[in-house]
Structure 1
Amino acid sequence: MPHPPTHSRRAFLKTAATVASAAMASKGWPQEKSAAGMAVPVMKNGNLLLSINNEPNGSVNFEIEGWPGFHIGPLMPALTVDGTSIQPEDCETSSEQNPKKRIARYSFSGGMILTLEFEGDGESVAWIQPVLHNGSEKEKTLNHVVLLGSRLSSGEVSFGADPASVRVLEQGNYWGRVVPITRQAKESSSQTNLEPNEAPSQQKVASDLVCTVYDRNARMAFLTGYESSERWLGRIELAAQEAEEKGYWELGFDGGDLLINPGETISLERVSLSAGPEPWSLLERYGDRVRNRHQPSIPDVPPVSWCSWYPYRLGVTDERLLETARIAAERLKPLGLSIIEVDLGWQKDQLPSTFEENDQFPQGLARVAEELEKSGFKLGVWTAPFTISEFDPLYKEHPEWLIADEKGEPAAYWTWFWAPHGKVFILDLTHPGAQEWLRTQMTSLYQRGVRYLKSDFIGCESDALARRRHNPRIVAGGGTEAGRIGARIIRESLPDALLLNCGGPEMPGSGHWPLLYSCGDTGNTGFLTSKFQQENYQALACHLFKNHRWGIIQPSCLCVGLPGSIEEARLRATIAFMAGGQIDISDTLTSLPEERWEILTATLPPLGISARPIDLFDPVYGKPGYAYSAACQEKGLPEPPPEEHPPGSVWHLHVKADWDEWDLVSLFTFKKEKADENPEIRNFMVPFSMLGLQESERLWGYDFWDRQALGTVPGKRRNPRDYSHPGDFQDLLTGDAPGALDISFVGPGVKLICLRRQRSHPWVLGTSFHQSCGTELRQVTWDDAHGILRGELHRPPGESGVLVIHNSGKTPRELQIDGEYSEFRLGANGSTVVPIVAAMEPSRWSLQFSG
């Protein structure tokens, strides 16, 4: 229906707003004053306050109770349509007399109407459901959408009284970071391997899907998160005010040049807003809301796979694959390995999306799948299904199936990094011919026995280049709809295969991927910088909340072999284990040293639960450096202030078994000294409160990788006269302040610490078999009448390792394993070390004590 003239509509809106305000005031709802002096109803959800100012243009403001200095607004929507940026001319608001619901309907020139429906649960979460209507008689092209933003309205944005205390989490498919908001606008996500995960044009600055702001001083967080991503990739951009530059906050997305019919109404992506004192809890609850909305199908148990890339790259052959399988069947299959995946290197001419085997697989994938099945393995393959090389016949035979440039010719997307190099192009998944081609290729893989598919570089469908596509009524460039079409085709063609998403839409929805690649490629050991590894694993930490909510995360490949150091191998293995997702092994099993096998098998099977990175937002501090020479001379020096470790340096996991529950704490340091620098001791002071423990608790500690009983935590070596010297650092525990885990070690490296409640009798501290420090044990009991500690070890026959037991002041006398007497030895800090070679599953053990 036609709109009334502007002046009469404004009069109507002012009258309606006055009536609504009076009605809400009579109900006792909170109100504030608009710029025009009118009462503005406030929608309250927990401590999050939202108000819509009817005069003059429906601007929106956010406040958070208990957060001094936090204010976002006024905010306004904006559209870019047919290449022209437009702002609202009018706004109608209503509340439907519901304190939990507000509606703002913005009218733009040319007949475009954007409706924002705000709804809250009254407790902790508010939602925004946007709907866009083309009220004109012409087709419109949607270029960009700002649902709410401060830049066009000259709004004031403040994330706290002191911006220096504010941290922001931003993330995308492969990247993530937590940085001071005062640095955030100047930095881009640039962590890169020596090989690319995605085309250079896809590097991100704005946060995809979710963003969390946290004020350390106020101890309050604000989360903005899209709960759907069916057609568009929602983004959040923000920055704090600095000097003459105003801060800003913007919620929106690339419209993907979607063609909207006259009279057509389309739903846009749903957004939720929440606030509270625990930023990680906000992320977990957001992840739960997304999962509950979309109900994705997720494997119950994280898969374990082997990938050919880092051992062999383009030199992979069918015989190398089968030789790997023969070893894996004996040593890794009992620990959960079920997939052998051939990465890039099996395709004809080594092209990214050809589906014919090359001469390194002379008998084809089908024969490999048959041989693997005999050993109990499924065949997996790598492909980049949406990336077409200039050397691919499809490029010449069907250029109309590729995204075009301004001249209508296939648009080069980037230059392929690996041989044979050359330009690559984006498959146009809005074209029926391209869709049918993809279906044919995927079906052929399934017919050849493929039951695991790693789809790489699939984020190209969201690249801005993909705008010039066959069907402009499907969102491609800048959005996710075309990529989801491709994902649905792949799922339909491989109905029971496991599918790994490398770069495509990560949020559940249509065309869902059950496995999610969640950080940059980890690369071979020994070659990558510490800075890259630190940033890459911080990125992974930002994604941990998605595990078992959006899918099973995969922290890239696990490499523990040469040429990297043993400490780097342990660090990588600890990250993979504590992530709780898929373990994707990528070592040369035919030549892996035995000490590296021990690291690998200790990581399997995956526990299936993710650690919490406790220092992403609130810091863990450490005492900086150590004056070696001065300490030797007993020269007292001023103690420097504690230093903050980089976010994501400390991960915590609470573990439960049928016989006990305990806490795992992993501490990572990546700093390397130059050749002419003295090694620097890295100290960590982890408050028990950050681990969910009482400050008054006294625990037993165990260092997994060094198989060492640490004694009582907190605790440290005490010398006469409080004498201190460098030899004190031979003990890992270097502080005994109440309520803290205080340890020091030289990096780069990792410590995996098990903290267990003290007992009045002997008890298991940990094992060397599994990083969980005890889930491989069952039926552990203490027989007080006979002074016997006994239990079962569930590991594959032939595997060897140790149990470490705290004696609790008693004396070990007699050890039996599977009914046979065996030897034990005394360990550190009042412990007993019990060597075990698993002869059967389970292996039963008992240790008798006296005293």
Structure 2
Amino acid sequence: MGVEPTSARSARPDTDFEDRGAHRDPTTPAHPKNTPIWRFRQVRPRMEHECTNGRTGLRGKAAVVRFRVDEATHVLRLDGPDHPVRAHGLGAVWRWQEGEGGHLAWVELRNEGDVPLYLETVDVLTAVPSDLGGPPEAWSVYQNGWGSWTPTFSRHLDDGLYTDPGTPAYRRMHQPHWEPEVDGVISSEWVSVLVAGRSLLVGFVTAADQLGEIRVGADGSGLTARCYFDGALLTPGGSVRSEVLLVRSGPDPLALLEGWAETMGREMRARGGDEMNLVPTGWCTWYTYYGENTADDVLANLEAIGRYDLPLDVVLIDDGYQTAIGDWFSLDPDKLPEGMEPVARAVRDAGRRLGIWTAPFGAAADSRLFADHPDWFLRDEGGEPVVGWTHWGTDCYALDCTHPEVLAWLGETFRRMREAWGVEFFKIDFIFAAARPGHRHDPTGTRAQALRRGVATIREAIGDDAFLLGCGAPLGPCVGLVDGMRVGPDVDPNWHPLWRHDLSMPSTENALRNAIARAPFHGRLWLNDPDCLLVRQRGPDMDLVLNEMRTLTALVALLGGLTINSDDLTAIRPGRLKYLRQALPPTGVSARPMDLFENELPRLLVLPVEQEWGRWWVAGVINWEDRTTETTVRLEQLGLPPGRYHVYHYWRRRYLGTTDDAVTIRRHQPHETAVLILKPVSEHPDLLATTFHICQVEIADCRFEMADSNLQSATFDLHKAGRQFGEVLFTVPEGWRPAEARVDGVKRDLRFVAPGVVALGLTLEGRAVVEVGFAREQGSRGNGR
């Protein structure tokens, strides 16, 4: 089983952009009380952009407005920027100007007549992509899904379009703009990147007021960036603007996507900033009990967290505690016979935070909420309540979040949970229901505005010091309100989904595909939630084999987001907990998917890290195939500068030698992720790696000293919550030998694990000081460090 190296931010454009609707949101960023971790410094790439104009990337640019007067539909085309156009009482101006390393575009509308107008869509840009360096069949196109669970990936057009299941349930949850007559069109929500020899990004950088879609003709015939006004009423004298679109080109498509996320996060006032390094950890009831957990189950797992000294902060009670969706304070008496308060008190007494799951924008057909307030719900053209989703066989109807009484009820519900139960972590699920089409109380509101009003009401009710996690969510309108966001389908104790063609179905494979494709959003729009980490042994409720579980663990760690376990900790084999510990705490920064635009299932994740005492790279090399293969990765594919590197295989605990060219994994097993730690070669003894954390976060400080040219010492401060056995490994170049080692002042033995590599084993309980000395062999001479 050989695994061995192969040798040999731009200036703002103007105040028009500054004063967009998202900036009217009174919510100010503040980070909740989360688990503090060591500050992990990520090396971010320098982004290069080319200012896109009519000669580079697009031709035939225009904007198009569709609206209704009475029952008549009108189309207004704007062929040039800054030239007001008026038709049927609607005045429109298309703005197009340089900014943000590219161009910014939006459309301003005003009802200049004396009758109401109803706005349908605004195409902020229609154009034909050109000069991308290849024909359309050579393009790779980034497709971002509408919601948390919607498939997201980059696909080569010569591979054909993704064929979704096409069921009503799928369309309800994932296709807000579905049109049966449209064919041969790639749809991406809010942002897309077109890649051939050059790369073109088109993405909305505001999203508070309208849903935004990027459409690309599969034959390269056209590109449209569309805002959906959903038939909103524009009264005489009223004015409104579209969302702001960014058009930017550059040589690096991944950097373009990251730059778009940074711009959108700034314009929508994403919460967190530098304090996003503080990422929640926790335990969740769902993937063990699936809603059947009792108070005793929660308390038993709470006790196990303490007994195993696991650094898990949040105890999240997921779906199942309530008698019906919508009746959140009607608790199941068989599961919580004494109510929520005793459980909440036990969680607080254990020094942890209580988390609660809700699906706040819907109510079950058999709920008291629906029976008592039928006027609070969206209605279709026939006057029937709009189904948001079906929950375990029961229809859940969508609440109208433009109704003042609904907003008042939402505020009261979440304030009560915050104050009476002491909830500090709120997971709000299925929230796409607020953006379902239907007749609303406020005819001037769009679907995006309705969703944002609902989420903003919850944000205000729980306060800035509580953590708000979105799930089942249309992404754009939530930026600036949520602290975290689920970015993929549910994980699952199975690798493949039940139906392989449905990329939205629960499965570990599907969850990880989306989490990787949306890695650029992490720390820029919110904290990404890849869903729960499962490490339990294989059995009736767990079908992941060892390599699959390790892949899930490695990618959760490398992606740097929320790390929440969902195993039965009262029954897990204690040996399995080492994998959970190796992913804790989260780093807060994400590895980069280096081949996101080359492979629909990216194979290369790289986390570059630089500290005062050194730099290293942690690479995840993934085999998605169902068969063993041989994988060769060149250093330039990982983004490493030229040089020679030590390579250490984390899972196999194997030193692979040095390379200046490539690493070959000769027996890369099915669904295995090879975690490689790469460190520049030094002529002096040096730290190679540790085994306590996949990303090496436990090294709080490191000091090298040369007593003279023949003696070198190194002192390391290790800091990691919990109790864990592991090793610290050092490279010992030719001409040097290890002298002695101490842990907290006590002598320890060093052992050679490979030629030129020694290891020191220790049990880390919170903190430790490691001191290691090296001496030159007799006859060797040096010039100092």
Of residues 642, 647, 650 in structure 2, which corresponds to 1:704?
A: 650
Q: Are residues 1:432 and 2:380 paired?
A: no
Contact preservation (8 Å) 1:411, 1:425: yes
Contact preservation (8 Å) 1:170, 1:177: yes
What is aligned with 1:642? none
Contact preservation (8 Å) 1:381, 1:453: yes
- Which amino acid is the alignment partner of residue 819 of structure 1? G
- Going from structure 1 to structure 2, the CA distance change for 1:682 and 1:189 (only over 3 Å counts) comes to farther
Q: CA RMSD in A?
A: 2.8
Of residues 583, 589, 592 in structure 2, which corresponds to 1:603?
A: 583
Of residues 670, 679, 690 in structure 2, which corresponds to 1:747?
A: 670
Matches within 5 A, 1:626-645: none
Task: Give the CA deviation at 1:230.
Answer: 1.2
What is the distance in 1 between the residues matched to 2:722 and 2:696? 19
Task: Give the CA deviation at 1:569.
Answer: 1.3
Of residues 570, 573, 596 in structure 2, which corresponds to 1:590?
A: 570
- Going from structure 1 to structure 2, the CA distance change for 1:381 and 1:202 (only over 3 Å counts) comes to farther
Task: Give the CA deviation at 1:799.
Answer: 1.6
- Going from structure 1 to structure 2, the CA distance change for 1:797 and 1:376 (only over 3 Å counts) comes to closer
- State the Cα deviation string for residues 133-191 of structure 1 (Å, max 9, x = none): 222211122222223335xxxx686754332331111213333110013446x225669
Matches within 5 A, 1:500-579: 500-507=469-476, 512-525=481-494, 528=497, 533-563=508-538, 564-579=544-559
What is the distance in 2 between the residues matched to 1:187 and 1:754? 35
Q: Are residues 1:179 and 2:155 paired?
A: yes
Of residues 637, 660, 672 in structure 1, which corresponds to 2:614?
A: 660
Contact preservation (8 Å) 1:387, 1:425: yes
What is the distance in 1 between the residues matched to 2:585 and 2:577? 14
Aligned residues with identical type, % of pairs:
23
Q: Are residues 1:373 and 2:348 paired?
A: yes
Q: Are residues 1:272 and 2:246 paired?
A: yes
What is aligned with 1:691? 638
Of residues 460, 471, 474 in structure 2, which corresponds to 1:492?
A: 460
What SS does structure 2 have at the residue aligned with 1:792? strand
What is aligned with 2:204? 226
Of residues 764, 767, 783 in structure 1, which corresponds to 2:687?
A: 764
- Which amino acid is the alignment partner of residue 377 of structure 2? L
Matches within 5 A, 1:208-227: 208-215=189-196, 218=197, 220-227=198-205
Task: Give the CA deviation at 1:406.
Answer: 2.1
- Which amino acid is the alignment partner of residue 828 of structure 1? A
**Structure index of larger Rg:** 1
TM-score norm. by structure 2 comes to 0.83
Of residues 308, 311, 314 in structure 1, which corresponds to 2:288?
A: 311
- Which amino acid is the alignment partner of residue 824 of structure 1? L
Q: Are residues 1:296 and 2:283 paired?
A: no
Contact preservation (8 Å) 1:138, 1:261: yes
What SS does structure 1 have at the residue aligned with 2:767? coil
- Going from structure 1 to structure 2, the CA distance change for 1:177 and 1:510 (only over 3 Å counts) comes to closer
What is the distance in 2 between the residues matched to 1:566 and 1:669? 14
Q: Are residues 1:472 and 2:416 paired?
A: no
What SS does structure 1 have at the residue aligned with 2:720? coil
Task: Give the CA deviation at 1:411.
Answer: 2.5
Task: Give the CA deviation at 1:754.
Answer: 0.7
What is the distance in 2 between the residues matched to 1:278 and 1:778? 34
Task: Give structure 2 stretches of 5+ with no counterpart.
Answer: 1-47, 179-185, 539-543, 778-785
What SS does structure 2 have at the residue aligned with 1:666? strand
Task: Give the CA deviation at 1:777.
Answer: 5.1
What SS does structure 2 have at the residue aligned with 1:286? helix
What is the distance in 2 between the residues matched to 1:800 and 1:169? 42
- Going from structure 1 to structure 2, the CA distance change for 1:196 and 1:514 (only over 3 Å counts) comes to farther
Contact preservation (8 Å) 1:484, 1:510: no
Q: Are residues 1:836 and 2:748 paired?
A: no
What is aligned with 2:659? 713
Contact preservation (8 Å) 1:227, 1:269: yes
What is the distance in 2 between the residues matched to 1:405 and 1:458? 19
- Going from structure 1 to structure 2, the CA distance change for 1:157 and 1:534 (only over 3 Å counts) comes to farther
What SS does structure 2 have at the residue aligned with 1:690? helix
Q: Are residues 1:86 and 2:12 paired?
A: no
Task: Give the CA deviation at 1:319.
Answer: 1.7
Q: Are residues 1:807 and 2:732 paired?
A: yes
What is aligned with 1:682? 630
What is the distance in 1 between the residues matched to 2:435 and 2:722? 49
Q: Are residues 1:795 and 2:767 paired?
A: no
- Which amino acid is the alignment partner of residue 88 of structure 1? L
What is aligned with 1:669? 623
- State the Cα deviation string for residues 514-559 of structure 1 (Å, max 9, x = none): 1111111112255647886445423222222221211111111111
What is the distance in 2 between the residues matched to 1:597 and 1:198? 39
- Going from structure 1 to structure 2, the CA distance change for 1:197 and 1:405 (only over 3 Å counts) comes to closer
Q: How many residues align?
A: 697
- State the Cα deviation string for residues 718-771 of structure 1 (Å, max 9, x = none): xxxxxxxxxxxxxxxxxxxxx333333222211111110111222221111011
- Which amino acid is the alignment partner of residue 846 of structure 1? V
- Going from structure 1 to structure 2, the CA distance change for 1:802 and 1:197 (only over 3 Å counts) comes to farther
Task: Give structure 1 stretches of 5+ with no counterpart.
Answer: 1-44, 51-61, 65-69, 94-101, 620-644, 674-679, 715-738
What is the distance in 1 between the residues matched to 2:327 and 2:496? 28
Task: Give the CA deviation at 1:582.
Answer: 1.4
What is the distance in 1 between the residues matched to 2:225 and 2:707? 63
- Going from structure 1 to structure 2, the CA distance change for 1:118 and 1:527 (only over 3 Å counts) comes to closer
Contact preservation (8 Å) 1:797, 1:837: no
What is the distance in 2 between the residues matched to 1:830 and 1:199? 56
Task: Give the CA deviation at 1:405.
Answer: 2.1
Contact preservation (8 Å) 2:715, 2:771: yes
Contact preservation (8 Å) 2:713, 2:771: no
Of residues 38, 55, 61 in structure 2, which corresponds to 1:63?
A: 55
What is the distance in 2 between the residues matched to 1:339 and 1:440? 23
- Going from structure 1 to structure 2, the CA distance change for 1:47 and 1:846 (only over 3 Å counts) comes to closer
Contact preservation (8 Å) 2:603, 2:623: yes
- Going from structure 1 to structure 2, the CA distance change for 1:822 and 1:547 (only over 3 Å counts) comes to same
- Which amino acid is the alignment partner of residue 154 of structure 2? V
Task: Give the CA deviation at 1:597.
Answer: 0.7
- Going from structure 1 to structure 2, the CA distance change for 1:651 and 1:71 (only over 3 Å counts) comes to same
Highest relative contact order (Cα 8 Å, sep 6+), 1 or 2?
2
What is the distance in 2 between the residues matched to 1:796 and 1:76? 55
What is the distance in 2 between the residues matched to 1:824 and 1:197? 60
- Going from structure 1 to structure 2, the CA distance change for 1:196 and 1:837 (only over 3 Å counts) comes to farther
Task: Give the CA deviation at 1:802.
Answer: 1.2
Task: Give the CA deviation at 1:383.
Answer: 0.5
Task: Give the CA deviation at 1:231.
Answer: 1.4
What is the distance in 1 between the residues matched to 2:755 and 2:386? 67
What is aligned with 2:302? 325
- Which amino acid is the alignment partner of residue 295 of structure 2? D
What SS does structure 1 have at the residue aligned with 2:678? strand
Contact preservation (8 Å) 2:495, 2:509: no
What is aligned with 1:23? none
Of residues 170, 173, 183 in structure 1, which corresponds to 2:143?
A: 170
What SS does structure 2 have at the residue aligned with 1:234? strand
Task: Give the CA deviation at 1:432.
Answer: 1.6
What is the distance in 1 between the residues matched to 2:480 and 2:378? 21
- Which amino acid is the alignment partner of residue 66 of structure 2? L
Task: Give the CA deviation at 1:361.
Answer: 1.3
Task: Give the CA deviation at 1:775.
Answer: 4.0
What SS does structure 1 have at the residue aligned with 2:66? strand
Task: Give the CA deviation at 1:784.
Answer: 5.4
Q: Are residues 1:615 and 2:617 paired?
A: no
- Going from structure 1 to structure 2, the CA distance change for 1:441 and 1:653 (only over 3 Å counts) comes to same
